[in-house]
Chain A
């Protein structure tokens, strides 16, 4: 235990004091503070710019009305839909319109060929169909208004009918996904990134000790399991320190920013429930331990840092695959699908999958406890296995051994250990 603490302290201080760690932390802080203050700043600059815009600065929409012959209705409907644009009723032919749109005299042009058939002329068609949908919606509105008009329904009543929408109030008995969606997504990203980032720290530290042959000294000073556990705890603690600094800065800087200055998306992000955040922390810690033991064990077979990437790529693949499964499940709205339920009990996918379910669905506390216990047991077993692999791996230089050779070495070692224990008991 004493050794674990000593290794932990050395590793922790080593990481905290390293330039790379300080620089990334500072960058994150700058980003956080930027995210807190910039939107407000940009909005205020934008709004002051808006005021200066005069009527002549406005972009022009050209509308050719061949079907309704009702200039007023067409113009007013378009003006309503496209605020900030100037609506021009034109009689130009399609070629002229295309020319002018291309020269950007017009933002875009709409030709109403028939009551429900339109030609939309634009320079660049956006990937997202929001503009075209708005044009179609506008023309639909014109059609409805004029149709009601023909039937003799007064304009006010027809407008009311057209714009009527049911009032919807939702009663949520479980978890409100709409409320938690974004925050859960962000926290999940953070778990994923943090596990990879800090897990790699462990792997790198193992390889560099081996590469510089510091291992030759260390292995004679302390047990491999103590070195391994100390290293994993040390890097993990450094990770938590970094996260804590970042979160504290975020919370403090939010105090100084009025929430109203932030765009709605950002405000929503900041609003995550405390229990979701606590789950994120819990599952980050569990995921970190599971993967850093794996990464450390794999890394102990690398003689040089160049070998590291190849060696740890299987582990990385698993992490990415798990993340993809969970993201796809969330996006398709099936957080409680059979696959997700299974994933939330498999220790390698449980940290992300169970977190997603805990945040976005109504999982009973018992289920979470079972998943956590499975993960804890796995961590213990992995820790032991990783130490055994580490013991075999760190003194092996040169070619990366085949998995079968490793298994054989481990079983040999296990047999000798058993024999030694038996002989000690005999004494």
Chain B
């Protein structure tokens, strides 16, 4: 299945929240929806969920308007919300039944997911008796119990310890492998890079960058080279002596480290640099083009605005 969001516009009163938002995600892959607070991520998600109607634009599944009665959507809101004073299994079954599952299946799914989350012992406890991390796991169970075709996760990792984060990662990977469309919204870029092959960056209600993470990274000038060597100073002197006119800077980002970072005037000269370095009388551990991190890209695209 392919989920497509086409030309969304949405205003609340005078405020324009979304301006021509386009997204696309296919089964078996995850799309990272990035943006600063207030950029319009939650509004986009709520339009996909059918909570809000867009002023213009549409949400399509395989080219047809998304039929939310047939396509099941599992949603984990950033603001976690379950009944604190109700029995866990009761509310899980209730929410899953509201999402269209019958009572018996919902009960089975409840047992299955509580087991998967390692939460079976809390089945008949009230939610408020659980720790924050465990409540988060219950929330994830509530999201995934309806066996969704589309999974929307808003900051799923906040508040989880490393072990639980690992469990969550495994579960998300399973969902992706099983062919669900996963929409992942987070400010923790390392997780986004881990799951998502594609990202869309929203800024002030507009998509400012989208596509495969690798392509976005490659679109940046590839003119910074990082060389790992035991003798960075010696190599640095050698390079400046030979190629000084084509190099902007040569520096060691860590004082005592063995990394040498060279910024060139043009990326065309990187082949020449490689042959120079390999011919030099220095032991080289690695030679690579330095790509911008997702964090850098995010900051660059979203710095102006809001």
Interface residues of A (CB under 8 A from B): 3, 6-7, 10, 14, 209, 212-222, 395, 405, 408-409, 412-413, 416-417, 420
Contacts and interface: CB of A to CB of B under 8 A. Distances in A.
16 contacts: A3-B98, A10-B90, A209-B83, A212-B84, A214-B83, A217-B75, A217-B82, A218-B98, A219-B51, A220-B49, A220-B50, A220-B51, A221-B98, A395-B46, A408-B13, A409-B13
B97 interface: yes
A6 B81 contact: no
A300 B94 CA distance: 21
A416 B95 contact: no
B62 interface: no
A14 to B, nearest CB: 7
A22 to B, nearest CB: 15
Contacts of A220: 46, 49-51, 73, 75, 77
A213 B77 contact: yes
Nearest to B11: A412
A416 B50 CA distance: 13
Contacts of B83: 209, 212, 214
Contacts of B86: 14
9 interchain residue pairs of minimum CB distance: A213-B81, A221-B98, A216-B77, A216-B81, A214-B81, A213-B79, A220-B49, A416-B53, A220-B75
Interface in B207-230: none
A214 B82 contact: yes
B53 A221 contact: no
Interface string B2-14: 0000000000010
Given A214-B81, A216-B81, 8 more contacts: A218-B98, A220-B51, A221-B95, A405-B13, A413-B53, A416-B53, A417-B53, A420-B53
B41 interface: no
A215 B81 contact: yes
Contacts of A218: 81, 95, 98
Contacts of A212: 81-84
A6 B91 CA distance: 12
Nearest to B81: A213
A376 B229 CA distance: 84
Q: Give chain B's interface secondary structure class.
A: loop
A14 B83 CA distance: 11
A405 B15 CA distance: 13
Nearest to B146: A221
B131 to A, nearest CB: 17
A281 B55 CA distance: 46
B261 interface: no
Interface centre among A217, A405, A413, A416 (most CB of B within 10 A): A217
A395 B99 contact: no
Nearest to B78: A216
A220 B45 CA distance: 10
B98 A6 contact: yes
A387 B83 CA distance: 21
A227 to B, nearest CB: 9
B264 interface: no
Contacts of A221: 95, 98-99
B142 interface: yes
A152 B95 CA distance: 95
Nearest to A18: B85
Nearest to B51: A219
A278 B79 CA distance: 47
Interface string B232-264: 000000000000000000000000000000000
B142 A217 contact: yes
B97 A6 contact: yes
B66 to A, nearest CB: 13
A80 B108 CA distance: 83
B80 interface: yes
B53 A217 contact: no
Contacts of B55: 416
A215 B51 CA distance: 11
A217 B81 contact: yes
Contacts of B95: 217-218, 221
Interface string B72-115: 01010101111110100010001101110000000000000000
Contacts of B46: 220, 395
A14 B49 CA distance: 27
B80 A213 contact: yes
B80 to A, nearest CB: 6
A413 B80 CA distance: 26
Nearest to B76: A217
A6 B94 contact: yes
Contacts of B79: 213, 216
A10 B86 CA distance: 11
A14 B90 CA distance: 10
Contacts of B94: 6, 10
Contacts of B77: 213, 216-217, 220
A395 B78 CA distance: 13
A221 B101 CA distance: 11
Contacts of B51: 219-220, 395
A156 to B, nearest CB: 79
A212 B77 CA distance: 12
A420 B53 CA distance: 8
Residue among A6, A7, A10, A218 with the highest chain B CB neighbour number at 10 A: A10
A14 B126 CA distance: 13
B84 to A, nearest CB: 6
A221 to B, nearest CB: 4
Contacts of B53: 413, 416-417, 420
A417 B52 CA distance: 10
Nearest to B55: A416
A6 B95 CA distance: 10
Contacts of B99: 221
Contacts of A214: 81-83
A221 B152 CA distance: 13
A108 to B, nearest CB: 60
Contacts of A420: 53
Contacts of A219: 51
Contacts of A10: 90, 94
Contacts of A216: 77, 79, 81
Contacts of A413: 53
Contacts of A6: 94, 97-98
A302 B196 CA distance: 38
Interface string B46-62: 10011101010000000
B164 to A, nearest CB: 20
A10 B99 CA distance: 14
Contacts of B73: 220
